[in-house]
Structure 1
Amino acid sequence: MFKGYFYLFFLLLFIKGNITLAQDSVIVYRTLDSARTLPGDTSKVDWLIDKGKSLGRYFDKRGMENLFFQEAITLSQRIKYTRGIFNAYIETGISKRNKSEYLLAADYHQKAVKYAEEAKNDLWLCNALNNTGVDYRRMDDQLEKAFDYHFRALQLAEKINDVRNICIAINSIGNIKLSTDKYAEAISHFEKALELEKQSKNSLGVAINLGNIGYAYQGLGRLDLAIEYYKKSLAVNQQLNNSIGLAICYNALGSAYKEKKDYARAHEYLNKALEVNGNVDDKVHIAESYLNIGKLWSLQGKYDEAHKYFMQCIDLCQTWRFKYLLMEAYKAVADNYKAKGDFKRSMEAMEKSLVYKDSLLREQSSLAWAQTQAVYEVDRKDNQIKLLEHDKQISELRTKRNVVYTLSMAGFVLMLAIGGFFYIRHRNLETNKQTLQLELRSLRAQMNPHFIFNSLSSIHRFIWSNNQEEASDYLTKFSRLMRMILDNTQYTFISLNKELESLRLYLDLEKLRCNDVFDYQITVAEDVNEEEVMIPPMIIQPYVENAIWHGLVHKSGKGLLEIAISVKGRTLTCTVTDNGIGRKKAIEIKEKKGQTHRSMGMKVTEGRIDLIRKINNTKEADVNITDLEDETGKALGTQVKLILPVEFIF
């Protein structure tokens, strides 16, 4: 009979949960419907951001994009509302961080940094820098980058005397020091933050910093002092009636007393943590308490008692799918069985722990891959919006020009025939030029996905080969290069220094990808000002790629790639020389492998050069390829000479 009541209880909970879910969905979508009736101005942007924050938990629980924030970003960009774009990026980044999507969170917050810098708003910039620092602090291998962002925020916050951001930056730097076991430095930062929080009468900030000081003293082995600070933090959290803060303090006190081998008090505080966790929505804290109490019983040799708590932790984790805690719990069960001498069950539990560990590693790899693709998609959409706005402005200017033409023809009837003739001629020339420009943009769009696909394949290979350090290094450099490509390729011409910067980053990635089988050298003539000379973006890269993959990777011994750039008049000459196997040998290798297709990057670039020649009405744009040989006819490599018309900023 008890079993029947137990089943009925959970059935009622399930029905209640589904009713709540349905009610939440109705509220969200009714709110979205009401948004469509609002005028598309700055007030609507602010309203969307407020609603996105108040309904954020609905989207976070379901792993969905916050539709209000996304609409706020789109509308802000359309009406050029900088404050709205900044706030929407900040809140979207926080939402991503709450779902542990730290790479995406950092990308959104870096965009907020950019807008704050453009707006020259120091308070915005402090906020964006601190948020970006927190994102990187959550990534275990990005602590140095996190420190740089928080340090910049601290300097700026002190300059404008913004106490809130000073406290956040100092506390975050202290946590970074704590993570790297620099406990004395951590204490120094936490004490500064504590004093500022007291002056600001921010009780929650006081509680947090008191607890952090306790963690640092525990790291130094000064347990009595750690316990003193934990109790001070506990007292403040009791005044605030902060359940999460109370649970953290009780767990910390239990951990400290466990180290002192005062098991009675350790049990007392861990049980209090378990009791307080009943008031916290997130069940992960209850599971942690069960696990800690089980470990404490195991230390005292009471293995059966420990096993009960371990199993309670496992049952809860399986219900809520806490894979990390399942891995830790089964490992603790394995240690418990081992201490009892039951090695068979110990091995079975350890195997289950390893299964969850492998599952977590696969999820982390998939998450990194998915977030990288998402960063690319977000940046691509932002650039599309900018291009649409640019096209809209051109269309408006063209409309105004046509109105002027119409009024002029009406006023000067005598010049009607002559004016009409020149107008039609001018329009045809403009149409032809715009057609060529669109074809050129289309060719650039073909080339960039070609390069990005190859790079993503390399990241994929690193991840699946479990080469995490190289994957992380490659992923960081690739994200930077991808951002640069997305920025550069929306323009017909970019400065030479930007082209060379992206080329160097590309070469670094290819060296890493090819296990450092070649070196490269880029030489620019002394009379060339790299910032003034303007060239088409990504015009050199395909020839460099061809030299690497068809010449240098097949060479025995270290390869060398030399790039020399000079400018004469309004013509740029770029010479790409490699000491690879030569074109003849490369063709033989391709034929043996059954590869007969031409490089897409080379084909697209040839089309670009042909269009550049037509647009500029010049024969100077050209590509010459020379096979380098010694006196006996032995291949010494290949030289490509690329000749292009250039523009100048001034």
Structure 2
Amino acid sequence: MSIKGVCFWCLLLLGACLGAVAQDSLRAGKLLDSIRMLPNDTAKVSLLIKKGRAYTRYFEVHKTDNPFWQEALTLSQYLKYPAGLSLAYNELGTSKRNKSLYIIAEDYHEKALKYAEEARDTGLITFSLNNAGVDCRRLDKLQKAFDFHIRALVLAEQIHDIRNICVATNSIGNIQLTTEKYADAITHFNYALQLEEDNHNDLGVAINLGNLGYAYQGQNKLDLAIHYYKRSLAVNQKLDNPTGMAICYNALGDAYKEKKDYQAAMDYLQKALAVNDKVEDKVHVAESYLNIGKLLGAEGKHEEARKYITQSIEVSNYWNFKSMLMDAYKALAADFKESGDFKRSMDAADKSLLYKDSILDEKSSMALKQMQTIYEVDRKDNQIRTLEHDKMVGELRTKRNVVVTFALAAFLLMAIIGGFFYIRHRNLRANKQTLQLELRSLRSQMNPHFIFNSLSSIHRYIWSNNQEEASDYLTKFSRLMRLILDNTQHTFITLNKEIESLRLYLDLESLRCNGIFEFNFHIAPDINDEEVLIPPMILQPYVENAIWHGLVHKPAADKGLLDIEIVLKKRSLVCTITDNGIGRKKAMEIKERKGRMHHSVGMQVTEGRIDLIRKINNKEATVTVTDLEDGTGQPSGTKITIILPAEFIF
């Protein structure tokens, strides 16, 4: 399809829809006004949710929030109706997921789960768990998604909820498909398929048949994969589902391409291209052009291949499909390289990398906007609760006016005593704020220190590797920087966030050091890393010191080991960093030989932070360094023990 053809199609569609859009808008507005006139009760909440579903498509097309569901949410809060809150948050979360706002969707569906549990409605709990699981799967939080769906499956089987059993089973299969556990995935898809067939749900049958095809293709059982793709195609044809047919045609084309049956592969990809004219999402058109181009390239028909890849680029440019543009330019670069045109191959590869960077920036920006949206929603909810609380306080005050006269004398006496304690408390608080400002100043020094060290670490790596490897390394570095810059905005962060950033830092340093050391994390089983709090970047300087003054100087034949252990002892968090490096004494000798006798800035800042934490909390906060020795008294590494006051979210 040419760009002119695409434009003409858009104009026709726009002209046909204008009248319907105006009518839908008018009807929705009148209906909402009429519902607002009804009494405020749970039946009104149910009606708002039902009518919101009826106009879902209209509001999604116009990219606006569904006012019916917003009204249902507000009314449920007013009525203190947890089941209504769960239903409203489920609908709002699914709407956000359909717009690819997965972070907001996850937040809404987890709120829906909380209110469903408060309502003790097992069906709602199951539904909310499945919704949250799908959000996590889209965010690549596979373990969390798996846990949600397993919980949903257990509850759904208890109440014989077939719909949610099918959703949970299929989702678990998809997670196993993503992690290449094909045998387990096939078991779950077959179970879901049987349930869908028993309930005569043809769309569910088509989906599970296609999933089975992907699983068998993953096992390289191409004939069996083709068999299931064709069964899925037959059901989609029966349903007259063009999107499903396009997916099946593309899957069949890919499978036949793997079998090197290029003619059959081309036939199916051409069918996919033809049926895509009926599919609203034009990304499938671009995908079909790209697949045909790759197939022709595999056959050695490079000129013709580039024509199809170029058509994919034209459609993707028009509709701004950046992921497709990245893949298309990458395929074009490979085709030029195969043809021996290395200059044009490099140009295409550069464009592919530009789109890759653009996609990463957009994802980061979108994630930030979603987090800000979640913050604003929570802030408004808190304001509503505060207003309700103030209203109750006002009502109580009107009943206490008689007591005021008799309590005046006692009040004056208490005011004098309270004034004394207030002044004392204010002085203590001022002193504490001074210490906190000093702590914040030290914490802010960690960002430039860490960024400088990390940039120095990757400098040589970039210049000694090819472009693709360098780009991937910088992508990991960018992720780490975003984590560090976000975490160091807070006095405390959850332990899992600190471990995530530390693990990513160790991955980068291990890559740079050519894997000369291994690292392990040991978190005590009684620690919930999502509830325990820790100052950000408190462990990194000691880990960095262990690597660059202990492990990198070990002989090449002797593998370096770095163990990080975190345990909870009473009200203290004990973090132990142990390495099998050369020890402090030999490290000092190496420093003297190289003429570098300066104390680590990161260590100085961190020691200052720990000292201030002890002063502010008036609790134990210490760092102890122990030199390790083997049986012969020779240095065998260093152990650093950091004791911090245990802090919790709740």
**TM-score band, normalised by shorter chain:** 0.5 to 0.7
- In the alignment, is residue 173 of structure 1 matched against residue 200 of structure 2? no
Q: Secondary structure at the match of 1:65?
A: coil
Change (3 A) 1:287 1:31: farther
Matches within 5 A, 1:259-278: 259-278=258-277
Residue equivalent to 1:506: 533
Contact 2:494 2:530 in 1 (8 A): no
- In the alignment, is residue 246 of structure 1 matched against residue 257 of structure 2? no
Which letter maps to 1:312?
Q
Which letter maps to 1:74?
T
Change (3 A) 1:467 1:516: farther
Change (3 A) 1:554 1:471: same
Deviations 1:579-618 (A, max 9, x none): 69xxxxxxxxxxxxxxxxxxxxxxxxxxxxxxxxxxxxxx
Q: Distance in 1 between matches of 2:608 and 2:226?
A: 60
Matches within 5 A, 1:484-495: none
Query: TM-score by structure 1 length?
Result: 0.67
Q: Distance in 2 between matches of 1:467 and 1:40?
A: 50
Q: Distance in 1 between matches of 2:116 and 2:412?
A: 43
Residue equivalent to 1:596: none
- In the alignment, is residue 468 of structure 1 matched against residue 467 of structure 2? no
Q: Distance in 1 between matches of 2:413 and 2:379?
A: 31
Residue equivalent to 1:334: 333
1:347 shift after superposition: 2.5
Which letter maps to 2:159?
I
Change (3 A) 1:475 1:62: farther
Q: Distance in 2 between matches of 1:510 and 1:388?
A: 38
Change (3 A) 1:338 1:28: farther
1:423 shift after superposition: 5.9
Contact 2:330 2:349 in 1 (8 A): yes
Change (3 A) 1:138 1:511: same
Residue equivalent to 1:53: 53
Which letter maps to 1:215?
Y
Which letter maps to 1:509?
P
1:26 shift after superposition: 4.5
Contact 1:313 1:329 in 2 (8 A): yes
Change (3 A) 1:211 1:480: farther
Contact 2:494 2:531 in 1 (8 A): no
1:554 to 577, 599, 604: 604
1:557 shift after superposition: 7.5
Residue equivalent to 2:96: 96
Contact 1:257 1:263 in 2 (8 A): yes
Change (3 A) 1:318 1:14: farther
Query: TM-score by structure 2 length?
Result: 0.67
Residue equivalent to 1:533: none
1:239 shift after superposition: 2.1
Unmatched 5+ residue regions in structure 2?
455-473, 496-526, 546-564, 573-600, 625-642, 646-650
Residue equivalent to 1:202: 201
Q: Secondary structure at the match of 1:278?
A: helix
Which letter maps to 1:228?
H
Contact 1:523 1:564 in 2 (8 A): no
Deviations 1:19-70 (A, max 9, x none): 6655555455455544544443323322332333233334434443333322
Residue equivalent to 2:584: none
Q: Secondary structure at the match of 1:506?
A: strand
Change (3 A) 1:553 1:75: farther
Q: Secondary structure at the match of 2:604?
A: coil
Change (3 A) 1:62 1:348: farther
RMSD between superposed Cα atoms in Å = 4.7
**Range 393-402 or range 198-207, more displaced:** 393-402
Change (3 A) 1:225 1:38: same
Q: Distance in 2 between matches of 1:262 and 1:564?
A: 71
Q: Structure 1 vs Structure 2: percent identity of aligned residues?
A: 48
Change (3 A) 1:20 1:553: farther
1:243 shift after superposition: 2.0
Contact 1:105 1:135 in 2 (8 A): yes
Aligned residues: 510
Change (3 A) 1:123 1:525: closer
Q: Distance in 2 between matches of 1:225 and 1:430?
A: 84
Q: Distance in 2 between matches of 1:337 and 1:101?
A: 37
Residue equivalent to 1:605: none
Which letter maps to 1:272?
K
1:382 shift after superposition: 2.2
Q: Distance in 1 between matches of 2:369 and 2:387?
A: 27
Contact 1:517 1:553 in 2 (8 A): no
1:314 shift after superposition: 1.8
Residue equivalent to 2:619: 575
Matches within 5 A, 1:296-307: 296-307=295-306
Change (3 A) 1:5 1:161: closer
Q: Distance in 1 between matches of 2:249 and 2:491?
A: 43
Contact 1:49 1:68 in 2 (8 A): yes
1:185 shift after superposition: 1.1
Q: Distance in 1 between matches of 2:188 and 2:281?
A: 30
Q: Distance in 1 between matches of 2:606 and 2:492?
A: 29
Residue equivalent to 2:406: 422
- In the alignment, is residue 128 of structure 1 matched against residue 112 of structure 2? no
Q: Distance in 1 between matches of 2:45 and 2:181?
A: 44
Which letter maps to 1:223?
L
- In the alignment, is residue 320 of structure 1 matched against residue 319 of structure 2? yes
1:362 shift after superposition: 0.6
